[in-house]
Amino acid sequence: MNDGSMGPLTETARKISSMEVRGAGRIARAAAASLRDFALQIDAQSLEEFNSEIKDAADILLATRPTAVSLSNAVRMVIRHRESSVEAARRSVVSNADRFIEDSEKAVEKIGVIGCRRIRNGDTILTHCNSMAALSIIAAAHRAGKEINVIATESRPRWQGRLTIGMLEEMGIKTELIVDSAVRSVMNDVDLVVVGADVITANGSLVNKIGTAQIALCAHEARTSFMVAAETYKFSPQTIMGELVTIEERKAEEVLPEISKFRHVRVRNPAFDVTPHSYIDVICTEVGAIPPEMSYLIIKERLGWEMDESTSISNSSGSDNHCCYCE
């Protein structure tokens, strides 16, 4: 392996693991950019050597966080090429990465334009965690001159809600911050829940920040609309092949820094949970607002899904995380 040129890519991997770079879309774009920069540095004598170096680099990135399928989809889209020389393969990887990053940014914008049509003047919107796709919808509604009010959860244990309220503050949007457990207390004031996605499975279920499933349950019980904002690269081809989604379990210290003082307590810290498709009214993608039941078609048509070995790229490879699996 070309150790000298691996430095920046390893640094990106470290930032993704530590969550300095976080959120499924950002993770995917950072991985694409670091593969592109790495491809430009590879000093390979043969195509086999080039492919093997790129594959090793991809594996380092894939081992960072196991849940977000945007990471494995981005890696697959960037490293896939049919070239027969090192230089052509290098050019392919670079242009794949640039295209992925550009398309991904445009997708977030387009989701805003499409999703904001579902927001009415005077609506109160509840959001969870910090999702660029969900915030794109809220920002687009605000730009369109709709009077909106946002309720943001804290999103313990990593407090992503503080990022969200900072962004809403900058946009000048009226915002209320609540503790995660206050969701039911405020749900009757909410017109629409809008959240992002780490994974949409073949049956249309959503994997997103821990707590999302409870919010969906509350929204369902209160007859409040539940909208998911998800670029098409958040849909999981692996789930068509029957694979289960790996749910990342992070360190106990994130929840309880003084855990070492407790001899009989075990902290569980799953970072994501699963919302059944039956609780989701609509998934807003860059190609339209679709019912969750259409997820299979998105995977088939948008992700160029084929029954080949590239489909089996999985984020969980080599990860030290303690993971559990779900449908």
**Contact between 321 and ligand RUB per CB under 6 A:** no
**Contact between 281 and ligand RUB per CB under 6 A:** no
Stretch that binds ligand RUB, among 87-95, 129-137, 144-152, 252-260 (CB under 6 A): 129-137
- Told to judge if 56 belongs to the known catalytic residues of this protein, a careful annotator would answer no
Shortest distance, position 17 Cβ to ligand RUB, whole Å: 11
| Cis peptide leading into residue 157 (ω within 30°) | yes
Catalytic residue among 198, 218, 284, 323: 198
Task: For the segment 153-192, give every residue that binds ligand RUB (CB under 6 A).
Answer: 160
Q: Which of 209, 232, 280, 281 binds ligand RUB (CB under 6 A)?
A: 209
Q: How many residues does the chain have?
A: 327
Contact 40, 81 (CB under 8 A): no
Contact 100, 78 (CB under 8 A): yes
Tell me the C-alpha to C-alpha distance, in Å, between residue 258 and each of 17, 25, 154. 22, 32, 21
- Told to judge if 129 belongs to the known catalytic residues of this protein, a careful annotator would answer yes
Q: Which of 71, 133, 148, 245 binds ligand RUB (CB under 6 A)?
A: 133
Nearer to ligand RUB, 53 or 198 (CB): 198
Q: Which residue is nearest to ligand RUB (CB)?
A: 196
**Contact between 298 and ligand RUB per CB under 6 A:** no
Q: Is 269 helix (H, G, I), strand (E, B) or coil?
A: coil
Nearer to ligand RUB, 206 or 240 (CB): 206
∠ CA 170-173-176, nearest 5°, is 105
Alpha helices in 144-189, H assignment, sequence order: 160-171, 183-186
Nearer to ligand RUB, 27 or 218 (CB): 27
Three-state SS annotation for 187-245: HHHCCEEEECCCEECCCCCEEEECCHHHHHHHHHHCCCEEEEECCHHHECHHHHCCCCE
List interacting residues with ligand RUB (CB under 6 A). Answer: 22-26, 129, 131-133, 160, 196-198, 208-209, 271
